A and B are shown apart, each in its own frame.
Chain A
Amino acid sequence: MSVVSSTNAKAAGPTRLGGVLVYLRTMALFVLAWYAGSLLVPSKLLLPSPLAVAAALRDTALNGELFGNALISLARLSASMLAAVVIAVPLGLLMGRSRLWNDLLELPVEMLRPIAGIAWIPLALYLFGIGHRLPLFIMFYTAFFPLLVGTAAGAAAVDRRLIAAARTMGLSRSTIMRRVIVPAALPAILVSARLAVAASWTAVVAAELVGAPNGLGYAIEYYRSMLSTPTVMAFIVTIGLLGFLTDKGLRQLSRVLTPWAQTGAAQ
């Protein structure tokens, strides 16, 4: 038993390390190119060197600004995502499974969906003023449509045979919704949640840039006005990193919630 597990560990070890090395090599190439670029661009205001950005990252991390603003933006993202899920997923299920609901909602949804969340900022400024509510609204709006459309498409695409099987077992419509449609559409819902979170991150900056007294977007705008490009870039890097990490978290969540629907699992 122990022999088997140790060989397994040995077999897994180098591959994982190899993956990390490839990743580091790519990152190193990118940072090198950046560094070379910063030497060629004469103005430090236009393109600061990676070293200056690293120093700014360190400084803002040490004085708590980085984590404070990141936490606020993360909290806003979570709250607006939660609200979007609570409203968009049930509506999407109804739209995907009921002709009536689809006919009712399709037109307004398709008219509102192409409008970028940030297009509402001027109006939202009048409505909400500067504070939490404006970025929350913009991020909610941005997350809402990918979730709604993704859930509706997932619910509409549920294998008819599975529904037929449940019907022949005498299940009621509401039980079929909960026990067949929802789990069958869950992979699609989770994919649309990833799209919604990514879109929400892009909205964070714009919404906080104008409409909030704090958060990562606010910090970027503040340091731009102070002409401190390295700090601006430090916050941009932070958003990229957080976006990557939240997506990784969601992918992990889909692996846990939908182990049957992972790539490599033959249907």
Chain B
Amino acid sequence: MSTPKIRLDAVSKFFGGSVVAVEKLSLDIRDGEFLAIVGPSGCGKTTVLNMLAGLEPATSGTMMLNGKPIEGPGAERGVMFQDYALFPWRTVRGNVEFGLVYGPAGQGLSPAERTERVERTIEMVGLTGSQEKYPHQLSGGMRQRVALARLMANEPEILLMDEPLAALDAQTRVILQDELLRIWGQDRPAPERRTVVFITHAIDEAVFLADRVAVLSSHPGRLKQIVDINLPRPRGDATRRSGEFARLCQSIWELIREEAYRATMN
């Protein structure tokens, strides 16, 4: 493997001086890989993502992106937030085009190209016909798709996603998992794929989507193990039914079972 896209070296994050959210996390994220991070609640998954996004500094350790230290947010790292963070005063279209209109992602695009990309992205997430609606007029699943479209329209190099499919019903979730893999580029050769860091609490989702699954332990958040997922691509329904898929889910579940029980019982 070539140099990593993102390198975390002994990254720790303390809150209020004493609460340890993440402890000595070292992790290389490769260019074009789909990395899922799973772990019980309290393992600092969201904190890791916020640090990668440049929204929170690390207390210690180094975070490098393309060999340069991460010092703040940047348009090359797009984020999809757990609670969507849609702009309530903008319509579906207004949200999706936001980064292209006001941010660097739209530079060099003509208005016609911009409109074309916005409409294409809205169509991709199945929101055509709802362009003029405001977020408060949409269901939870539709809001999540708006957030996904807003992220995709900017075409960032790296997609940082915090439980992006958590609020969806089971069917929509399966459909958007397939869609996400298509957008990421599972049908294309590896060099043409984007880099995805995908946080989830759903083990089956992580196994289905990812090239590698980073399993974190909680209190404090530490890297427990990285599991390679060598299921063939493109993946689809056949993957979900395969014995290898079930075996991988089971082995990851065993890694975190004890802690998950403890977290739930407390």
Contacts and interface: CB of A to CB of B under 8 A. Distances in A.
Given A260-B135, A266-B136, A159 B85 contact: yes
A161 B73 contact: no
B85 to A, nearest CB: 4
Interface stretch (A27-35, A130-138, A167-175, A230-238): A167-175
B149 to A, nearest CB: 13
Chain A contact residues, majority secondary structure: helix
Contact of B102 (A169, A260, A265): A169
Interface string A240-264: 0000000000000000001111000
Contacts of B79: 164-165, 168
A258 B53 contact: no
A121 to B, nearest CB: 41
A170 B105 contact: yes
Interface string A164-192: 11111111000100011001101000000
A61 interface: no
B154 interface: yes
Given A183-B87, A261-B88, A169 B103 contact: yes
B208 interface: no
A169 B105 CA distance: 8
B89 A265 contact: no
B77 interface: yes
Interface residues of A, number: 24
B81 A165 contact: yes
B85 A170 contact: no
A169 B159 CA distance: 12
Interface residues of B, number: 27
B81 A179 contact: no
B100 to A, nearest CB: 9
A147 B73 CA distance: 33
A164 B55 contact: yes
B136 A267 contact: yes
Nearest to B77: A168
Contacts of B103: 166, 169-171, 175
Given A161-B81, A168-B78, A168-B79, A267 B102 contact: no
Given A170-B75, A259-B134, A260-B136, A165 B85 contact: yes
Interface of B: 53-55, 72-75, 77-79, 81, 83, 85, 87-90, 98-99, 102-105, 134-136, 154
13 contacts: A161-B81, A161-B85, A165-B79, A165-B85, A166-B98, A168-B53, A168-B55, A168-B73, A169-B99, A170-B73, A179-B98, A258-B89, A265-B136
